[in-house]
Structure 1
Amino acid sequence: MKSITWSVALLLTLALAAFVQPDSEINKKGKWVKLFDGKTLNGWKKWKGGEITKWKVEDGAMVLAEKGGGDLLTEGQYGDFELELEWKISEGGNSGVMYHVQEGQKYCCPYSTGPEIQVLDDAKHPDSFKGADGNHKAGSLYDLLPPNDLTVVKPAGQWNKMRLVIKKGKGESWLNGKKVVDFPTKGPEWDAMVAKSKFKGWDGFAAFDKGHIALQDHGDKVWFRNIRIREL
């Protein structure tokens, strides 16, 4: 009887130890991590280096105050992930969020390698009316797939919530709580889409399974806040 009681006590002790043990790297995977602390630009760097200028922090948001700040990249790189952020675009403005971005002398810019989720004033920016079937609209997988609902985006000057999921060869673009684009990230279907886009023949485009998250300087004022990510 004592041996049974002792065994039960041992099992309970081990279970409790497992429950209260400090986070390991395995435990950390899947937990949300802030990419922006709301106060500084720590954790971000300028495309191909140099001092970050013209990107500011105002009222808890990361702001491209004027043209010429350059694109910003996360210091870390991510493969499969879930990204959430809020963005606000100026009237007539254009920007974007890219993933799996690589740096290298042969690449001109983040969109050389990283597919882009469009950030746009759909009502007034000229790019809104280009492309096929709306694949330049806010929330689109830029120049590849349009959003399935053009009414969910909020106008210039208002906050939009974006969610991007990349997992096991598939991607999802969400805008203000609605999934607006479902897409493959590799394979024959992806290759066929790229072949019909402006990215046809681009060396390195969407060729990497891991890379930086990038925020685009397209020359227009744009705000980002509540940026967080979790690896999947």
Structure 2
Amino acid sequence: MLAEPAGAPQNVPPEGFTALFNGQDLSGWFGLDGRFNGQGLITLGKEAREKLQREGLASVTQHWKVEQGELVNDGAGLYLTTDQDYGDIELWIDCKIQPKGDSGIYLRGTPQVQIWDTTEAGGQWQHGADKGSGCLWNNKQAGNRALVLADRPPGEWNRFHIRMIGPRTTVHLNDQLVVDDIPLENYWDRTVPLPARGPIQLQTHGGETRFRNIFVREIPAEEANAHLQAVAADGFEPVFNGRDFDGWIGATDSYEIQDGILRCKSGTGGVLLTGKTYGDFAVRFEFRLPPGGNNGLAIRAPLEGNPAYEGLEIQILEDSAEKYADLKDWQVHGSVYGLAPARRGFLRPVGQWNVEEVVVQGSRVTVCVNGTTINDVDLQELPARDGQEHPGRTRPEGHLGFLGHGDPVEFRNIRVKLL
């Protein structure tokens, strides 16, 4: 948590944070119509986005102003939107509403961390205002009610401290936990994951709202991965000791171990498998891709035949590389090779570690990378997209491992949980 010493100057970020509001003007922000899907900014070309930002900045001052180091909105008009997109972040915002006020904080262009008058006089109890601000109000599954009522009365400042890793969102309001690591759902299209990046937006929804001390820290991959590895970690046991190939069989000559990292040797390949077999299980691991890197996760693989067909292969691939411009959808990262395509756009930049979890139960396979579920499919009667036979889809048990393709893809912290 961020502590502010008594008498500390406003709008001055603590160490490691950047101020999104400079206390003087709207630099770094523009106005966006609340009916516009903020996620759509990601798909705009550079010129189109800059044009939208110029137009939005020109009109946003109708309802937004800076007054005595505070951002002030009169309750109407465009949503104040950051010029920059953000992914995994820690965010600090002070907010003050008036009686019957209603606002919110959009993350990655998506509603919202709720801000409202929580008193009965505010007139929103039928919508859950009596439970408090800070909740992910538009969620359908979980998190749409605050864990505790932590609001100060209208007319007083409230402090929001938000951490977001993948879609997983934690909110503290006035130093009290109100949302505990709940995925923010994609309000704009609940059939697809929340995007990996997007703008921060301040909602206008009735009544004067004031903001100050808006600070952001982009969370580095190592910190994000440590958090994701710790989520519901009970029952996971290491299958790689970080020192040698104890417990592994197959192409051990094609891999090397250094500093706790398992690396496929450049120019080699082959199938490296666990000596044990697994039926229903979850596996968590970290991987790091070189440019254009290609490998695969073998699931329920036999010792004979092609494990991508006689078992299952989950693609591990730097699928944004130019040489993969013509990939089929069932070849991208996280796909069940030949069978089930995954959602793209959730890998970290080349050279950074990613964390992945694959859950296999019966004929169902779920793939989650960097906190986002990119594949969730029942393979039982799914037509093969590559036109090939895939007897491995019904194999109840087999070996776990890696399918090298000549690239120095690296792995570490490989753990398995039996289900």
TM tier relative to shorter chain: 0.7 to 0.9
CA distance in 2, matches of 1:45, 1:144: 27
CA distance in 2, matches of 1:162, 1:125: 23
Aligned to 1:117: 314
Q: Secondary structure at the match of 1:217?
A: strand
Give the root-mean-square deviation of aligned CA atoms. Answer: 1.9
**Matching residue within 261, 264, 280 for 1:61:** 261
Paired residue type of 1:79: G
CA distance in 2, matches of 1:138, 1:78: 22
Percent of paired sites with the same residue? 28
> 2:270 matched to 1:70?
yes
Aligned to 2:250: 46
Paired residue type of 1:126: K
Aligned pairs (5 A) from 1:2-13 = none
Query: What is the TM-score when the length of structure 2 is the normalising length?
Result: 0.42
Query: Runs ≥4 in structure 1, deviation > 4 angstroms?
Result: none
Which structure dedicates a bigger proportion of its chain to strand? 2
Aligned pairs (5 A) from 1:177-192 = 177-186=371-380, 188=381, 190=382, 192=383
- CA-to-partner distance for each residue in 1:28-80, whole Å, 9 max, x for gaps? xx832211111111111116xxxx21311112110112223421001000000
CA distance in 2, matches of 1:143, 1:175: 19
Q: Secondary structure at the match of 2:359?
A: strand
Q: How many equivalent pairs are there?
A: 186
**Matching residue within 323, 327, 341 for 1:126:** 323
Alignment gaps of 5+ in structure 1: 1-29
CA distance in 1, matches of 2:260, 2:281: 24
**Matching residue within 211, 218, 222 for 2:398:** 211
Instruction: Quote how far apart the aligned CAs of 1:161 are.
Output: 0.8
CA distance in 2, matches of 1:115, 1:230: 18
Instruction: Quote how far apart the aligned CAs of 1:128 are.
Output: 5.4
Q: Secondary structure at the match of 2:308?
A: helix
CA distance in 1, matches of 2:322, 2:284: 24
Paired residue type of 1:151: G
**Matching residue within 221, 237, 240 for 1:33:** 237
Q: Are the equivalent residues in 2 in contact too, given 1:70–1:216 (CA < 8 A)? A: yes
Q: Are the equivalent residues in 1 in contact too, given 2:268–2:407 (CA < 8 A)? A: no
> 2:137 matched to 1:137?
no
Q: Secondary structure at the match of 1:225?
A: strand
- CA-to-partner distance for each residue in 1:196-227, whole Å, 9 max, x for gaps? 324x235x332311000120111111101000
Q: Are the equivalent residues in 1 in contact too, given 2:359–2:366 (CA < 8 A)? A: yes
Instruction: Quote how far apart the aligned CAs of 1:125 are.
Output: 5.7
Aligned to 2:300: 100
CA distance in 2, matches of 1:127, 1:166: 27
Aligned to 1:3: none
Paired residue type of 2:250: K
Q: Secondary structure at the match of 1:135?
A: helix
Q: Are the equivalent residues in 2 in contact too, given 1:68–1:217 (CA < 8 A)? A: yes
Paired residue type of 1:226: N
Paired residue type of 1:82: A
- CA-to-partner distance for each residue in 1:82-117, whole Å, 9 max, x for gaps? 11001111111111102010123xx1x322312211
Alignment gaps of 5+ in structure 2: 1-233
Paired residue type of 1:116: E
Q: Are the equivalent residues in 1 in contact too, given 2:307–2:313 (CA < 8 A)? A: no
Aligned to 2:92: none
Q: Secondary structure at the match of 1:213?
A: strand
CA distance in 2, matches of 1:165, 1:103: 21
CA distance in 1, matches of 2:240, 2:264: 14
Higher relative contact order (CA 8 A, sep 6+): 1
Q: Are the equivalent residues in 2 in contact too, given 1:67–1:217 (CA < 8 A)? A: no
Q: Provide closer, same or farther for how the CA distance between residues 176 and 128 of structure 1 changes in structure 2, counting only shifts above 3 A.
A: farther
> 2:201 matched to 1:201?
no
CA distance in 2, matches of 1:69, 1:84: 22
Q: Provide closer, same or farther for how the CA distance between residues 209 and 128 of structure 1 changes in structure 2, counting only shifts above 3 A.
A: farther
CA distance in 1, matches of 2:293, 2:399: 23
Q: Rg bigger for which structure?
A: 2
CA distance in 1, matches of 2:253, 2:393: 28
Query: What is the TM-score when the length of structure 1 is the normalising length?
Result: 0.74
